[in-house]
Amino acid sequence: MRDQDLSDRVALVTGAGVGIGRATATALGASGAFVGVHYHRSKDEAGETLDAVRAGGGDGMLLGADLTDEAAANGVVDGLVSARGRLDVLFNNAGSPIERATLEECSVDLWNQVLATNLTSAFVVTRRAIPHLKASGHGVIVNNLSLSVQTGGANGAGAYAAAKGGLQVMTRTLARELAPAVRTNAIMPGVIETRHHEVFSSPERLAQYRTETPVGRNGTAEEVAGVVMFLVSDAGRFVNGALIDINGGRFLR
């Protein structure tokens, strides 16, 4: 599709080693973008993502950093821009519940760690990226939320839900502050069968989720990447401040 051609554009995908990040980085590369493949601990997996980008006809570079460290997070943006001279697309995908705990049981240390990992890090990366996105002429931000924003963080994911809720508000704020130079939107995936749910959901719970979803299955990382591609491309040029559910109708209202 011509208006999903991202040739000559530069994209940064945080948390691109596995799952939704890998699928999106691969799709961006296949559409012509040069992809900054960020990782924290998953260096080998990020290398596999970069291999997949190149196998699909694209190109990119690895960018390792702990995004909860402000200087390191700034360095990710600076390193990509230094290498390519521009930044057009930012997909704030990195995040993790870290561990499950009810709010009654959640320590302040865990609370702060979850917010730093899922909200503050996205803020720092975005703040550093804004001048470059404004200068792009095609600047777009997509933030990856979570169905827990709707559910309130069931099964001990309350801190994670709170962080993602903050990212939702930040999405709307940026949509007002940066338009028309930069569009900002968010996606809210439901149950996507990636490593995230291998770690934080049992096989029995994943099977239960399938029966609770009207389309009769859980989602794939590639299906989420397809929505991100629409939002970052010219096909989505009139979409700003949106929150798009990707959950197979699991929470129809």
Model pLDDT for residues 227-245, shown as the tens digit of each residue:
999 999 999 999 999 999 9
Active site residue 209: no
Here the tokens at position 238 are: 């009139």
Count the helix, strand and coil residues of the chain and give each as a percent rounded to the nearest 5.
Answer: 50, 15, 35
Tens of pLDDT, residue by residue over 116-130, are: 999 999 999 999 999
- From CA 179, how far away is CA 158, in angstroms rounded? 32
- The residue from 34, 39, 91, 160 that is catalytic is 160
pLDDT per position as a tens digit, 127-158: 999 999 999 999 999 999 988 888 888 789 99
State whether residue 156 is helix, strand or coil.
Answer: coil
**CATH says 2-239 is which class?**
alpha beta
Q: What is the pLDDT of residue 138?
A: 95
Residue with tokens 């999405």: 171
The full set of domain ranges for the chain reads 2-239
Query: Model confidence at 219, in pLDDT bands (50, 70, 90)?
Result: confident
Segment 209-232 shows an average pLDDT of 87
pTM of the predicted protein model: 0.92
Q: Over 60: is that where the pLDDT of 253 sits?
A: no
Task: Say which residues have a Cβ less than 8 Å from residue 122's Cβ, sequence separation at least 6.
Answer: 14, 67, 92, 94, 95, 143, 167, 170
Which parts of 65-138 are beta strand (E)?
89-92
pLDDT at 197: 56
Question: H helices of 118-220, where?
Answer: 121-136, 148-151, 158-178, 195-200, 203-212
